Chain A
Amino acid sequence: GTRIIYDRKFLLQCRTSPLAR
């Protein structure tokens, strides 16, 4: 199936999203 790939920049952006708090 499809592989879920995230780059570092995207992962760091998710850190500040309300869902991650």
Chain B
Amino acid sequence: NRRRTVCPGAGEHPLQYNYTFWYSRRTPSRPASSQSYEQNIRQIGSVASVEQFWRFYSHLVRPGDLSGHSDFHLFKEGIKPMWEDESNRSGGKWIIRLRKGLASRFWENIILAMLGEQFMVGEEICGAVVSIRFQEDILSIWNRTSNDQTTTSRIRDTLRRVLNLPTNSIMEYKTHTDSLRDNSSFRNTKISI
């Protein structure tokens, strides 16, 4: 399942993994069942090199300029940004809530860290999401194994460093099993300071 659909061009800088961009948008009044979630999420393109990433990314709307209830997802190629995907099933995510106005800059920093392999947790990272909501925006980074505390702590510490978060900022971790159970991405999270 590591079949690459795109390859780096001549002279380009290859990425450790290929990544795929996804976009989703939903009407907030409608319940987010897993079926309607899958119908609302669209694959928009894959990249294999740093240069391909910039060409693609430069044509995307900045997340902070999106309206309504929408998400950009950047996941390793072959991993669907869904709790149920084989690679995500035993995983979870770190959540960072952002006040309005910060999403574009923080999103860029989190994905550059991911593409550049700054997390140093082997194969653990699955992808990153920026979620545009009405009151606040939310960044998350998903990993494969929610009960591996060495990994989750290292991801948290790397996030603090690459996003330059104050040491007392609140970060929350939520397992995908819990998200499936309450059918919600961001409710009832375990808070960690």
Contacts and interface: CB of A to CB of B under 8 A. Distances in A.
B51 A11 contact: no
Contacts of B13: 6, 14
B115 A6 contact: yes
Nearest to A4: B16
Interface in A1-21: 3-8, 10-12, 14-15, 17, 19-21
- Most central of B13, B117, B162 by chain A CB within 10 Å: B13
B109 A4 contact: no
Contact of A6 (B55, B58, B116): B116
B55 A5 contact: no
A6 B54 CA distance: 14
A14 B51 contact: yes
Contacts of B113: 8
Interface residues on B, range: 20 to 34
Nearest to A19: B51
Contact of A4 (B15, B54, B55, B162): B15
A10 B16 CA distance: 15
Contacts of A11: 50, 112, 115-116
Nearest to A1: B16
Contacts of B9: 19
B11 interface: yes
Nearest to A12: B112
A17 B51 contact: yes
B12 interface: yes
B16 A3 contact: yes
Nearest to A13: B50
Given A5-B116, A14-B54, 13 more contacts: A3-B16, A4-B16, A5-B16, A5-B117, A6-B13, A6-B116, A8-B162, A14-B51, A15-B54, A15-B58, A17-B51, A19-B11, A20-B55
14 contacts: A3-B117, A4-B14, A4-B117, A5-B117, A5-B118, A6-B13, A7-B118, A8-B112, A8-B116, A12-B112, A14-B51, A14-B54, A15-B58, A17-B51
